[in-house]
Amino acid sequence: MNKPILNVKNLTMSFGGLKALDDVSISIEKGQIAALIGPNGAGKTTFFNCITGIYEPTKGVVEITPPGKNTQSLRGLKPNYVTERGIARTFQNIRLFHGMTVLENVMIGRHCRLSSGIIKAMLQPPSQKNEEQKAVTDSYEILEKIGLEKYVNDMAVNLPYGAQRRLEIARALATDPFLLLLDEPAAGMNPQETKELDDLILWLRDNENLTILLIEHDMKLVMSLSDWIHVVDYGKKIAEGTPEDIKANSDVIKAYLGDESDDA
């Protein structure tokens, strides 16, 4: 059997006395759309932050096996190196670069795939010009795929909300990832936009050979989209399985709706 593309074992993250994540193990197979769900404050975003290097986990193993490459550990790497290894993410609260145009936002994603340094930027030899031109066309193509090409020279901050969310995905795509982490991509979207997002995520999996892990509260989206669902509550993993398994799982229902005996 193939090794899982992302293998997280016994991940623990403590902030002082608080264990935001407690012994969580999750593995994701290539080509999967996996979802990470759980009530508010369950530690989902902390999990993302631990993988992408924004936090260094207190304990545990974070390993990736990029397609056609050897297994390597991500633990303790800075966020930019994690991105270079091929993991891209979006943010729960949109974090676009306001002072830049839509195209430049995507070009930032190309950053770690470009090689020209300061001297080259100042002297602009042909190699740098070609690379720059290619970055522009590549970024534009990504915008076309995501369906944002009409905004290409607009300032990112002026975009409609749904488009901003999509731009975050476009920017993440520009880093050439094999694994895409989406943190609540549908938050604040209307049903129409959610439907389009649904299509986009499926399209990304099928046409860009991406593996996707998403955090989402929109259960309809999660259930229709995911191949495999992981559930966390109070920093602990309480269940995993197919959408059908999860729907029927009593622990999950208890985590979301509360235990009847608790109410007394």
Partner 1 sequence: MAIKNQIKQSLIIAFWFMILTFPIMVIKVNTIRHTIDFRWANLVGVGIVTFFASMTWNYFLRRNEDQKKKEMDDDIPLIHRLLQNDRFRRPFLGVVAAFFLAYPFVFPMYHTSIMISALVYVMLGLGLNIVVGLAGLLDLGYVAFYAVGAYAYALLNLHFGLSFWVVLPISALLGTFFGVMLGYPVLRLRGDYLAIVTLGFGEIIRIVLENWDSFSNGPRGIGDIPAPTFFGHQFNQENTMVYIYFIVIGLVLMTIFFVNRLENSKIGRAWIALRDDEIACQAMGIDKFKTKLTAFALGATWAAMGGVVFAAKTSYINPMSFTIWESITILCVVVIGGMGSAIGVIAGALVLILLPEYLRAVSEYRMLVFGALQVIVMVFKPDGLIKSVRKVYTFNVQEKAIHEQTNT
95 binds partner 1 (CB under 8 A): yes
Tokens 């042909």 sit at which residue? 126
Rounded to the nearest whole angstrom, what is the least distance from the CB of residue 141 to partner 1 in the complex?
9
For the bound state, the minimum distance from the C-beta of residue 206 to partner 1, rounded and expressed in Å, comes to: 20
Beta carbons of 18 and 46 less than 8 angstroms apart: no
Binding mask 5-44 for partner 1 (x = CB under 8 A): ----------------------------------------
**Stretch of 6-14, 93-101, 206-214, 232-240 contacting partner 1, by CB under 8 A:** 93-101
Distance between CA atoms of residues 194 and 226, nearest Å: 15
Asked if 72 interacts with partner 1 (CB under 8 A), we say: no
Q: Which is nearer to partner 1, 51 or 221 (CB)?
A: 51
* Residue 4 binds partner 1, judged by CB under 8 A: no
The residues, any chain, with a CB within 8 Å of residue 227's CB and separated by 6 or more, are 32, 33, 34, 242
CA distances from 147 to 102, 197, 198, 227 (A): 12, 11, 14, 25
- Output 20 or 143, the one with its CB closest to partner 1: 143
Let me know if 238 is exposed, middle or buried by CB neighbors in 10 A (0-12, 13-18, 19+).
Answer: middle
Residue 122 interacts with partner 1 (CB under 8 A): yes or no? yes
Pick from 19, 23, 55, 152: which binds partner 1 (CB under 8 A)?
152
User: Among positive and negative, which fits the CA dihedral 94, 99, 100, 106?
Assistant: negative
Options 56, 71, 72, 111; binder of partner 1; rule CB under 8 A = 111
Site for partner 1 in 73-92 (CB under 8 A): 78-80, 83-84, 88-89, 91
- Residue closer to partner 1 by CB (options 122, 257) is 122
Q: Minimum distance from CB of 199 to partner 1 (Å)? A: 24
Q: Residue 157 CB, nearest distance to partner 1 (Å)? A: 9
132 scored as a contact of partner 1 (CB under 8 A): yes
Residue ranges that bind partner 1, judged by CB under 8 A: 52-54, 78-80, 83-84, 88-89, 91, 95-101, 103-104, 107-109, 111-114, 116-118, 121-122, 124, 128, 132, 135-137, 140, 152-153, 155, 158, 171, 175
